[in-house]
Amino acid sequence: MKFALAGNPNCGKTTLFNALTGATAHVGNWAGVTVEKREGVYKKLPEKAVIVDLPGIYSLSPYTPEEVISRNFILDENPDCVINIVDATNLERNLYLTTQLLEMDVPVVVALNMMDALQARGDRVNERELEKKIGVPVVALSALKKQGIEELMKRAYEAAKAPRKGYSVLQSSPVKTLLETTARSIESDGVKSPLFHAAKLIEGDEIELSLRPVEAARVAEAKKGEEDFEAVVADARYRYITEHFSSSLVKGKRKEKLSRSDKIDKVLTHRVWGIPIFLAIMFVIFHLTFGESLFYISEMSGGRWSLTSPIAIDIFSGMGYEGLLEEMGEEVSLAIPSPGVFLQSWMGFLTGAVVDGVGGLFESAGLRDTWYAGLVCDGVLSGLDSVCSFIPQIMLLFLFLAILEDSGYMARVAFIMDRAFRKFGLSGKAFIPLLMGFGCSVPAMMACKTLEGKEERDMTIRLSPFFSCGAKAPIWAMLSLVAVLGGLGGGVFVFLIYLLGIVVAIVSALFMKLFSKNYEAPPFIMELPAYHRPQAGNVGAHLWEKLKHYVKKAGTIITAALIATWFLSSFSWAFWEGMVEIEDSIIASLGKVLQYFFYPCGFSQGEEGWRYTVSALLGLVAKEDVVAQMAQFGLTEETLSLSVSGIFAFAAYNLFTFPCFAAIAAAKSESSKKGFAFTMLFWFFGSYLLSALIYQVGTLLETILPVGIIVVVLLIAAILLLGVFAAKRRARKTGAAQ
């Protein structure tokens, strides 16, 4: 038995899906497209029920891939029942999709979700009255609180046992005669759901027009000289909903004009304070994840909150200071670290203990100098140790982001960013894929398929890697541990890296817009869900998916890359002569050639420069591999020798350069041919120039501060002048076109 979940975005569909399927859920892609597919199993019915979570849509018209997928699944895959999730707090808007589902010859059950939120504002829905008027089972529930779910599935199971003939609310509209005539013609050809197909033909649906040219010609003849029938049909649907269904919503007496969510939004989505509040929230998240001194307590209190007990130091540093007191012969103090640094320290201690233990076994057997011991200990385990030691820290970062998303705040971020992004050629709808880039660039680029304009789609794909993905987080985590940041601290460093990515994305979008052909961002419409308490199940499922992805990549792609790199770093071109020192290896000879190309970027300078160069280039395999390869080359937080400007230049290159191979493949599949070629050039030259600029200017600021400040001011002035010139040039082109 197969049930499909259909509903508007932000109606609680994902929450219901997670409540129904739990640990049985799995995620993939729909065949032939890159839109996410989610399936799971519900086990509390007399027979197993497969739950298919259809993409969130507002209608079944073919304007987006999600709408095409949903309609094709219901029409072609023959689900036993469609569970239509309706946000009870926004009844009329959500029932628009319901009126289209009712036209299909498929059992339908309406799930009135968010009833708790509706009741909290003093309203209620008479579901029995609505069920009678709508003609299909209606069940009230709260997916968030898991109330009414079993009743919903029981009614859906009963509905699935009986066939259902579709009906249309348009049969009470001015298009009734044309609708029924067209439906009879379609039905005579043996087509299922004739009313649905007839309604779509009248609306001018492109899919229906191409599939049924005979009926399309008849409809066009009947519509000749009439007004826009798509608007007529939409108006007829909403009119019917208002006259027949809306009376089931009983509004209570309002004790206050604004709901709790509205009051919160007056602050969080404020025109002036919205973006600063978002940046402050992100700063706190990065500080709790990467900060060495929790809330800078020890600095503000003159060091009184530092740890001085040897036991406390070892506990909070993951045994990192073990034996240091005896070596130094004096008292050592350590600030209380953030939760992320604390977890990373202990994970590093555990993974390091595994590497040391395996090395000890080889040592005790007298095999430590063999090639296979080197492969296991110096090749695979040392790299995986560096990658895996950051897993708790990265999971903590994803935990904070998942909480923001599940609470409804991330939807507000897209809303407030729409105001800013629209000035730079991108809409809030484009910001949603960019936000996904904080998790992974691959789904972020895939999500660009939903953007309407080719130019905006190419631009968003081009900027997606600038929103630092989770795979780059280990790089920032390791660099944040290096004590060369002039007192900024790890949390501030990581915050600046993320902020740098957003700023460069905005500036890049501005100039791409200014030099484009009369491009304007399309309007952005989005329903904001009510704020609610994040659910442990939803957040846990999100973290579990991230952890599986991280571990799977570490156990496959990264391990394979480590083995290949170990061979190249352990043997010379005359590999038959046996193992050599890394300085005489194949990879060193290649790296020493490539490092001259990156000399202006700073991190490739010196005898160790080739190690940084090769590590950064190997990030093409997987960004986590950068840290793994650095560890294999002996570059850890204790041995990094870069200056502050070198650290930032190295971070900038890894942030702005080509993403991993998987993301490049996604960009190619979702971009136009010309757009993809420009994107590759943009990533290559942009990352190199920005990294070199950051290093050269940073070095000036470190050595000759006044000159450095003058250069920074001149650079800002040059960018502003170029922007003014581009704007005037664009205005002249627009005026000439008119």
Q: How far apart are the first and last CA of the chain?
A: 60
Same domain, 94 and 183: yes
582 and 673 part of one domain: yes
User: Who has greater pLDDT, 486 or 583?
Assistant: 583
Helix (H, G, I), strand (E, B) or coil at 215: helix
194, 183 contact by CB (below 8 A): yes
Question: Whose CA is closest to 689, among 430, 507, 510?
Answer: 507
Is residue 695 assigned to a domain? no
Q: Is residue 164 part of a domain?
A: yes
The pLDDT of residue 131 is 93
What SS3 string covers 449-462? HHCCCHHHHHHHHH
Residue 605 in any domain: the answer is: yes
Mean confidence (pLDDT) of the chain? 82
The answer to the question of residue 348 being in a domain is no
Pairing relationship of beta strands 49-53 and 81-87 according to DSSP bridges: unpaired
pLDDT at position 326 over 60: no
Six-digit token string for 663: 């993301």
pLDDT per position as a tens digit, 342-396:
888 888 888 888 888 998 998 888 888 888 888 888 878 887 887 788 888 888 8
Contact indicator for 319, 349 with CB cutoff of 8 Å: yes
Q: Are residues 657 and 727 in the same domain?
A: no
Q: How many domains does the chain have?
A: 3
Per the structure block, which two tokens stand in for 258? 């604004």
Q: Tell me, what's the pLDDT at 737?
A: 47
Do the domain assignments include residue 262? Answer: no
Tell whether the model's pLDDT for residue 150 goes beyond 50.
yes
User: Which of 382, 362, 385 has its CA nearest to residue 372?
Assistant: 362
668 and 714 fall within a common domain: no
What was the pLDDT predicted at 129? 92
Distance of CA 462 to the CA centre of its chain: 15
Query: Which of residues 250, 280, 312 is at a domain's end?
Result: 250
Residue 164 has a pLDDT of 92
Q: List CB contacts of 338: < 8 A, sequence separation 6 or more.
A: 287, 288, 289, 290, 291, 292, 293, 294, 491
Q: Are residues 582 and 711 in the same domain?
A: no
Cα separation, 496 vs 478, whole angstroms: 15
**Please, which pLDDT band fits residue 30 given cuts at 50, 70 and 90?**
very low
Average pLDDT score over residue span 498-526: 73
Identity (one letter) of the amino acid at 68?
V
> Is a pLDDT exceeding 60 seen at residue 323?
no
pLDDT at 375: 86
- pLDDT (tens digit per residue) in 530-565: 787 887 877 887 788 778 877 887 778 778 888 888
**643 and 733 belong to one structural domain:** no
Q: 134-160: string of b/e by CB count within 10 Å (b at 16+)?
A: bebbbbbbbbbeeebbeebbebbbebb
| Whether residue 730 is found in the same domain as residue 686 | no
| Predicted confidence (pLDDT) at residue 125 exceeds the cutoff of 80 | yes
Boundary-marking domain end, from 184, 219, 250: 250
Would you state the pLDDT for residue 157?
95
pLDDT at residue 5 tops 90? yes
Domain boundary among 209, 235, 250: 250
For residue 466, the enclosing domain spans: 369-690
Residue 329 lies in a domain: no
Look at residue 281 and tell me if it is in a domain. no
Is 683's pLDDT higher than 90? yes
Specify the pTM: 0.69
711 and 670 part of one domain: no
Count Cβ atoms within 10 A of the Cβ of residue 560 and give its class: 0-12 exposed, 13-18 middle, 19 or more buried. Answer: middle
Higher pLDDT: 584 or 436? It is 584
One domain for residues 91 and 175: yes
pLDDT in tens, 407-431: 888 878 877 877 667 666 666 677 7
CA dihedral 698, 704, 709, 712 (to 10 degrees): -40
In this structure, of 12-16, 110-114, 488-492, 701-705, the range with the lowest mean pLDDT score is: 488-492
* Domain shared by 13 and 90, yes or no: yes
Residues 721 and 674 in one domain: no
Domain CATH code at residue 244 = 3.40.50.300
How would DSSP label each residue in 600-646?
A: GGSTT-STTHHHHHHHHHGGGT-THHHHHHHHHTT--TTT----HHH
Model pLDDT, residue 302: 62
Task: Report whether pLDDT(303) > 70.
Answer: no
| Residue 378 and residue 405 in one domain | yes
Q: Is residue 280 part of a domain?
A: no
503: CB partners within 8 A, 6+ apart: none
